[in-house]
């Protein structure tokens, strides 16, 4: 795997429409997880740089034209962003693969979705409108949507460009201004997106990108008095810190956090469809997805045949060079993440579980460099094991048995998380009866696909709150102003004095 010529040697900060070095001139390397080798140097912002970025965003909000332009003009620019992304599709996909180690096919789907997000919100821009409410005679009332303000948007490494799009597109549509902080492991495509926004006509200061330590500048952003809203996607524990930090200034927050999503396969499911869908449900993006269906519950009557097919197909999944079109399973983001995954597998074994396949780093010359883990199937486990309760964020599935529908629902809900859940059955009534009882923000029936532009995505319980990817998000980037006026012929005299 050669370092591609499309990667720049150095990615500076993007503040107020300009590329600038960090004020300390410090940088840090970003890597290709498939080779473990450095890809580029990234500017390391400090708090002074964050102050500059927030100042630029504040100025663009209050003195700039972005929020004042007609919504149709913002829509035009969002469509232009999508258009440029389409023109630079191959480059975006390749950069995403090189910086995250995900397979090209996964990156293509995600870049495509990122483009559609901008198109979705381009259309949605013009739907942002107020209402008029019935009021007593002599009064007139209307509500009006206004941008929530300066938004700090902090995103994870697992879907770098897609998460940036989920955040940036609705904020732009609502007239907000942005300080985007990508994950330190995968900062490159956020910079390309900023470049594209600039080229498409987003005015200077409306979108700013800062890179550097989450514990330092990320935390600083979440307590910064110049920031009105924090939109965060990442781990549940980081989300809890952010909620605490943001409370001092009562910022608006949305939190898209971790998951431990269940996958329920009933006896009447189409077996092949359920096997194939469950396989995708866990191993897509090498299991490094918030919505990974990492707990698989199978009805006891089909348990053996399901497992036989599932393991047979797991062994056929193609691991390897993420840039190769045929690769299905890419690399793991970092050596530390590989160790975390393995320690969960070892903990399951120590608690009495059995590994049917995987459970180790792959062998062979293709995997001598970089970070890799084989798709892993664990059985003889139960729902209270550490590996069944905590988010592993890797290609590891715990398969368990159930007898009754009620039991399946109970097991599915027995987790602190509530992001997604899948149900496999051909019984229409059961599908919806079970769905009603699942404590999850996203439920899939007979399909592994959980996110499509236009459909609200977000969690129950400790998977966070707020919804993204849909028109509903616009409300989370807006304040509602309620305006009551008196229009009677004589002035009001409420005290009557």
Catalytic residues: 256, 290
Per-residue tokens: 241: 């810190």
Q: Which of 21, 41, 76, 213 binds ligand NAP (CB under 6 A)?
A: 213
Give the interface segment with ligand NAP, choosing from 93-101, 169-177, 178-186, 361-369 (CB under 6 A): 178-186
Nearer to ligand NAP by Cβ, of 390 and 431: the residue is 390
The window from 25-33, 176-184, 365-373, 406-414 that contacts ligand NAP (CB under 6 A) reads 176-184
The rounded distance, in Å, linking the Cα atoms of 282 and 444 is: 14
Which range touches ligand NAP (CB under 6 A), out of 44-52, 138-146, 181-189, 352-360?
A: 181-189
Q: Other CB atoms closer than 10 Å to residue 238's CB: what's the count?
A: 21
Question: How many of the chain's residues bind ligand NAP (CB under 6 A)?
Answer: 34
Q: Which is nearer to ligand NAP, 113 or 425 (CB)?
A: 113
Considering beta carbons, is residue 233 or 327 the nearer one to ligand NAP? Answer: 233
Give min distance, CB of 77 to ligand NAP, in A: 26
Interaction between residue 214 and ligand NAP (CB under 6 A): yes
Least distance CB 391 / ligand NAP (angstroms): 5
Interacting residue with ligand NAP among 183, 206, 341, 408 (CB under 6 A):
183
Contact status: 466 vs ligand NAP (CB under 6 A): no
Q: Is 169 in the site for ligand NAP (CB under 6 A)?
A: no
Q: From the CB of residue 495, how many other CB atoms can be counted at a distance below 10 Å?
A: 5
**CA distances for 437 relative to 33, 407, 433, angstroms:** 40, 12, 7
- Helix 104-125 to helix 71-87 angle (10° resolution) is 160
Nearer to ligand NAP, 154 or 409 (CB): 154
What are residue 413's phi and psi, to 5 degrees? -85, -10
The correct pick among 6, 20, 219, 357 for binding ligand NAP (CB under 6 A) is 219
Strands lying side by side in the sheet with 177-181: 18-20, 13-15, 207-209, 177-181, 150-154, 229-233, 252-256, 464-465
Tokens 């900060």 map to which residue? 13
Burial class of residue 15 (count of CB atoms within 10 Å of its CB; 0-12, 13-18, 19+): buried
- 195-226 in b/e form (b: 16+ CB < 10 A) is ebbbebebbbbbbbbbbbebeebbbbbbbbeb
Q: How many residues can be counted in the chain?
A: 497
Window 250 to 269, contacts with ligand NAP (CB under 6 A): 256-259
Q: Which residues contact 179 (CB under 8 A, 6 or more apart)?
A: 50, 53, 54, 57, 150, 151, 152, 153, 208, 209, 210, 221, 227
**Cβ proximity to ligand NAP, 103 vs 294, nearer residue:** 294
Binding characters for ligand NAP, 410-449, by CB under 6 A (x = yes):
---------x------------------------------
Among 154, 231, 269, 474, binds ligand NAP (CB under 6 A): 154
Nearest residue (CB) to ligand NAP, 35 versus 184: 184
CB of 6 to ligand NAP, least distance (A): 23
Q: How many angstroms separate the CA atoms of 8 and 188, rounded?
A: 9
- Residue facing ligand NAP at closest CB distance: 214
> 44 is written with which tokens?
């390391």
Residues making contact with ligand NAP (CB under 6 A): 154-159, 163, 181, 183-185, 213-215, 218-219, 222, 233-235, 238, 241-242, 256-259, 290, 391, 393, 419, 459, 463-464
């Amino acid at each position: 795997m050669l370092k591609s010529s499309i990667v720049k040697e150095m990615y500076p900060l993007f503040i107020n429409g300009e590329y600038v070095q960090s004020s300390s001139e410090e940088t840090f390397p970003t890597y290709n997880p498939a080779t473990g080798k450095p890809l580029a140097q990234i500017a390391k912002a400090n708090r002074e740089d964050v102050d500059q970025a927030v100042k630029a965003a504040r100025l663009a909000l209050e003195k700039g034209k972005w929020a004042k332009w007609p919504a149709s003009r913002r829509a035009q620019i969002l469509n232009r962003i999508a258009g440029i992304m389409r023109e630079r599709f191959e480059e975006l996909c390749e950069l995403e693969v090189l910086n995250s180690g995900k397979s090209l096919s996964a990156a293509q789907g995600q870049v495509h979705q990122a483009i559609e997000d901008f198109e979705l919100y381009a259309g949605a821009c013009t739907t942002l409108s107020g209402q008029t409410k019935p009021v007593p005679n002599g009064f007139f009332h209307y509500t009006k949507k206004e941008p929530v303000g300066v938004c700090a948007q902090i995103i994870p490494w697992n879907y770098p460009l897609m998460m940036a799009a989920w955040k940036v597109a609705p904020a732009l549509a609502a007239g907000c201004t942005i300080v985007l902080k990508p994950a330190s492991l995968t900062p490159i495509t956020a910079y390309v997106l900023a470049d594209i926004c600039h080229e498409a006509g987003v005015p200077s200061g409306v979108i700013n990108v800062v890179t550097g330590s989450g514990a330092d500048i990320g935390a600083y952003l979440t307590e910064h008095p110049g920031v009105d809203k924090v939109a965060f996607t990442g781990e549940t524990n980081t989300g809890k810190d952010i909620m605490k930090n943001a409370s001092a200034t009562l910022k608006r927050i949305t939190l898209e956090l971790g998951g431990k999503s269940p996958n329920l396969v009933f006896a009447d499911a189409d077996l092949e469809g359920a096997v194939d869908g469950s396989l995708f449900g866990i191993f897509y993006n090498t299991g490094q997805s918030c919505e990974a269906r990492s707990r698989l519950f199978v009805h006891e009557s089909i348990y053996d045949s399901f497992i036989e097919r599932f393991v047979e197909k797991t062994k056929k999944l193609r691991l390897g060079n993420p840039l190769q079109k045929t690769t299905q399973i890419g690399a793991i983001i970092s050596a530390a993440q590989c160790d975390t995954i393995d320690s969960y597998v070892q903990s399951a074994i120590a608690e009495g579980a059995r590994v049917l396949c995987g459970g180790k780093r792959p062998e062979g010359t293709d995997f001598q460099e970089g970070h890799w883990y084989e798709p892993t199937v664990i059985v003889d486990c139960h729902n209270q094991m550490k590996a069944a309760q905590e988010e592993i964020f890797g290609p590891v599935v715990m398969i368990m048995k159930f007898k009754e529908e009620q039991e399946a629902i109970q097991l599915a809900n027995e987790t602190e998380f509530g992001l997604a859940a899948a149900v496999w059955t051909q019984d229409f009534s059961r599908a919806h009866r079970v769905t009603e009882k699942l404590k999850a923000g996203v439920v899939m029936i007979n399909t592994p696909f959980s996110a499509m532009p236009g459909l609200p995505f977000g969690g129950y319980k400790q998977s966070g709150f707020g919804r993204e990817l849909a028109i509903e998000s616009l409300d989370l980037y807006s304040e509602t102003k309620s305006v009551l006026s008196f229009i009677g012929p004589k002035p009001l005299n409420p005290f009557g004095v």
